[in-house]
Structure 1
Amino acid sequence: MDAAIVANWMLSELEKHDCLYQDDVVDYLVKAKEESLLRENSDGNLVLGRQLLSAFQRITESNVVWVKPERYWRFRVAEDEPGREARG
């Protein structure tokens, strides 16, 4: 699997569930033995690697936002401010 394939899977999951938690993507990649698409953050947790994040952003730039406190993506709503990050 490459980053583009996983990014498209992520979009499909987001469309099905209206939100997509980073932990669910990490679990999916670990179970699929695709840890190369992950990295360890400064706290020692597995998170999405930059290549995968870039691939996902390319296909969702205008319609998906990241909700940082809860670490998930959701579709943009009218109340969202410009940019990629949204408030909870």
Structure 2
Amino acid sequence: MKICDGDVAAWMVEKLAADSVLHQDEAATIIKVRFGDGFVYINENGNLGISKSVLRVFRRLTMPDVVWDRGERYWRYKHDYEKNSNRSMK
């Protein structure tokens, strides 16, 4: 069976549901090992990142309940007081 972006994004959703947060660096490392190099890349800072195509699917699967915390570099569920806020937090 061929693995696709949706498979990786579904794993991310499951991991987030299990842990309540999903740290980008940890997720990227696990994705590389579990799903392969085609779903990650090395960003301009030399860090392992999750492919943009996987992130697009992940966003679609988690809208509108999940936000990206830029400062902490993880995804988490929105708090009740954030229900009308953007997908990204500082």
Q: Distance in 2 between matches of 1:12 and 1:43?
A: 28
Q: How far apart are the structure 2 equivalents of 1:55 and 1:63? A: 14
Are 2:8 and 2:35, in contact at CA under 8 Å, matched by a contact in 1?
no
Provide the secondary structure at the position in 2 that maps to 1:82: coil
Structure 1 counterpart of 2:87: 84
**Residue aligning to 2:67:** 65
Whichever structure has more helix as a proportion of its residues is 2
Listed as ranges, the matches of 1:12-31 within 5 Å are 12-31=14-33
TM-score (norm 2): 0.87
RMSD over aligned Cα atoms: 1.4
Q: Once superposed, which parts of structure 1, at least 4 consecutive aligned residues long, lie more than 6 Å away?
A: none
Q: Which runs of 5+ in 1 are unaligned?
A: none
Among all aligned residue pairs of Structure 1 and Structure 2, give the percentage whose two residues are the same amino acid.
29
Letter of the 2:6 partner, please give it.
Answer: A
- CA displacement, residues 28-65 of structure 1 (integer Å, 9 cap, x when unaligned): 12212511111221111110111010010010110000
* Residue number among 31, 34, 44 corresponding to 1:32 in the alignment: 34
Q: TM-score, normalised by structure 1?
A: 0.89
